[in-house]
A = this chain, B = another copy of it.
Amino acid sequence: MDERAALAGFSAISHQDRLRIVRMLIVAGADGMAAGAIASALGEALPSRISFHLKELDHAGLIVSRRDGKSIIYSADFPALSDLVAFLMHDCCQGHCAYCDKAIALFAKCSGRPTGPVRCD
């Protein structure tokens, strides 16, 4: 996670619909949700708009997609989200890296896959 990726990630979730999508996909977990299901969960939004938002989140690396028949299933990229948080709070412990390491380890636990070590540089 470098600065460019972090900016892309934060920009992606700086929009009401996109933030709701990410939070919804975090709840959905590994199963994910079809684009149509996401659109109807969001209410009045047009399919083209949801598609655009999903593309934005995908380009930012925060979600992943897979095709299942006619539907395209989106799910949260948990390691990427953990990395995004870690980038922002990289030195919240002011040098006492053990705190951040533990916090990120917990986020990694949620994702089911381990993330890299936190750099307190």
CB-defined contacts of A23 to chain B, threshold 8 Å: 88, 90-91
Cβ contact within 8 Å between B94 and A102: no
Contact A106–B99 (Cβ < 8 Å): yes
Main secondary structure of the interface of A (DSSP, over half): helix
Inter-chain contacts of A6 with B (CB < 8 A): 19
| Chain B CB within 8 A of A93 CB | yes
Q: How far is the CA of A6 from the CA of B14 in the complex (A)?
A: 8
CA gap between A27 and B96 in the complex, in Å: 11
Q: What residues of B have a CB within 8 angstroms of the CB of A91 in the complex?
A: 23, 26-27
Q: Which residue in B10, B13, B16, B107 is a CB contact (below 8 Å) of A92?
A: B107
Pick the residue among B26, B29, B88, B93 that contacts A22 (CB under 8 A).
B88
